[in-house]
Amino acid sequence: MNSTRSVARFALALSVAVFAVGCGKGTPEKGKVEGKAAAKAKLTVGVSLLTRTHPFYQDLESGLREAASQNGYELLVTAGEFDVARQKDQVQDFIVRKVDAIIVSPCDSKSIGTAIRAANDAGIPVFTADIACLADGVKIVSHVASDNIAGGALAAQAVAKALNGTGEVAVIDHPEVESVIQRVKGFEDELRKYPNIKIVAKLSGHGAKEQAFRTAEDVLQAHPNLAAIFGINDDSALGALAAVEKAGKVGRVTIVGFDAVPEARAAIKAGKIYADVIQQPRVIGQRTIETLKAYFAGGNVSGAILIPCAIYDRESASGSQE
């Protein structure tokens, strides 16, 4: 009798009340997650990033590792390198290895849904960092990212300031990625405040410098009066800059980017790129681990945690120590 009761109590202690939300939507239900964190001295967390080659994700990984080390968590860090099929395999491997949690920065915000659904079915909580999942019927505990809508608005304000409120603008897009969808929305919404600024082109550069270069070349040829380009990340902005330089239009076409990686900052200091929206990837990584910790401790966890952005321009550069 006592043995039966002990087994029942032990099973109850190991149960996890997953207060997750639909992918990229809403906030999780309040609940308690009891037993799992206490039952294991060291949590193992599988991480699949968009890439490990970009400075933004290198800083994000550093933030993840710093916070994980402080809490004694083991991180298994991989990256899809823009290949969602590869990323799905990585998530499946985490499921087979029975990790305690998974953190994903999706290569494709919709296509990753099947892999996350498999993790849901396996009872493994999933968190997203920087890029949200947009698939239906998928549960994400919490999404930690830059406030991309506000960041897009900052980019639009920089463009409007540079153009004195009038001119033709192009967007070098990457619409497969949720964070980009949000920053382009913020950009477009903010530009509606300037009726004399018109977006004449919005084409994908797939977030890559070479592809952005070719896209920008096409836009410059199609729109000879183009006054500005918004690159959704710095590879897009730097690719656009190469196209502008080739066309002999440096100083005539304003470029605003997003990320403020070292190469872009150097271009801003040189006056070749007008401004960048700067993010806090290390903070995103730290907050993701902190949120995971709160979840396993049974605390209340927000479904979406947004980290502020800021503008980096020549004035910022002149005041920096870099």
- Return mean pLDDT, the chain: 89
Answer yes or no: is pLDDT of 8 > 70.
no
- Region of 93 (left: φ > 0; alpha: ψ -120 to 50; beta: rest) is alpha
Rounded CA separation 8/274 (Å): 64
Answer yes or no: is pLDDT of 32 > 60.
no
**What's the pLDDT score for residue 317?**
80
Q: Per-residue pLDDT averaged across 241-256, rounded? A: 97
Residue 104 vs residue 20, higher pLDDT: 104
Q: How far is CA 221 from the centre of its chain?
A: 31
Answer yes or no: is pLDDT of 27 > 90.
no
Answer yes or no: is pLDDT of 219 > 70.
yes
**What's the pLDDT score for residue 3?**
38
Spell out the domains of the chain, with CATH numbers in brackets. 13-140+281-306 (3.40.50.2300), 148-279 (3.40.50.2300)
**What's the pLDDT score for residue 320?**
59
Q: Per-residue pLDDT averaged across 195-221, rounded? A: 97
Answer yes or no: is pLDDT of 34 > 60.
no
Rounded CA separation 255/268 (Å): 9
Confidence at 58, pLDDT banded by 50, 70, 90 = very high
Residue with tokens 């964190």: 37
pLDDT above 90 coverage of the chain, percent: 84
Residue 35 vs residue 43, higher pLDDT: 43
**What's the pLDDT score for residue 40?**
56
Residue with tokens 């001295």: 41
Q: How far is CA 114 from the centre of its chain?
A: 19
Answer yes or no: is pLDDT of 20 > 80.
no
Q: Per-residue pLDDT averaged across 148-168, rounded? A: 98
